[in-house]
């Protein structure tokens, strides 16, 4: 439980899945790598109350940013998953143009990060 002392908590949950199963996702809060979450894992981070930008990253790919405005004692629960899935990655591996898009222009949509609930 986070006390009402000007701190809040960001909880990031990651489910299972075949894609990226062996790799941990980095959680970046306000431009700083704050922790990692592995397959079927949960990461709990205490942060100062206020405005925060959260991004999930793996290698050079990531998620669009999630903007949070947290009050003291508030807990924000986020979920992170692979945004492309196995079939899109296979498609990108088989065909040049989808692959180029996914790992260049679309690199910041490789992961999906969002509020739970």
Q: What is the pLDDT of residue 20?
A: 81
The SS3 assignment for 98 reads helix
**By CB neighbour count within 10 A (0-12 exposed, 13-18 middle, 19+ buried), where does 84 fall?**
buried
Spatial neighbors of 48 by CB under 8 A, at least 6 apart, are 6, 7, 8
Tokens read off for 113: 């990060």
- What digits encode the pLDDT tens for the residues 6-52? 999 999 999 887 778 889 999 999 999 999 999 999 999 999 999 99
- C-alpha–C-alpha distance, residues 7 and 18, integer Å: 35
- C-alpha–C-alpha distance, residues 71 and 54, integer Å: 16
């Amino acid at each position: 439980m986070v006390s009402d002392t000007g701190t809040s908590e960001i909880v990031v949950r990651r489910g299972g899945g075949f894609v990226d199963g062996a790799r941990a996702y980095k959680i970046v809060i306000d431009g700083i790598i704050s922790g990692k979450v592995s397959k079927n894992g949960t990461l709990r981070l205490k942060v100062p109350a206020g405005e925060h930008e959260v991004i999930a990253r793996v290698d050079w790919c990531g998620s669009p940013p999630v903007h949070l405005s947290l009050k003291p004692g508030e807990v924000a629960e986020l979920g992170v998953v692979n945004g492309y899935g196995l079939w899109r990655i296979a498609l990108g591996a088989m065909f040049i143009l989808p692959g180029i898009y996914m790992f260049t222009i679309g690199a910041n949509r490789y992961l999906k990060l969002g509020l739970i609930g």
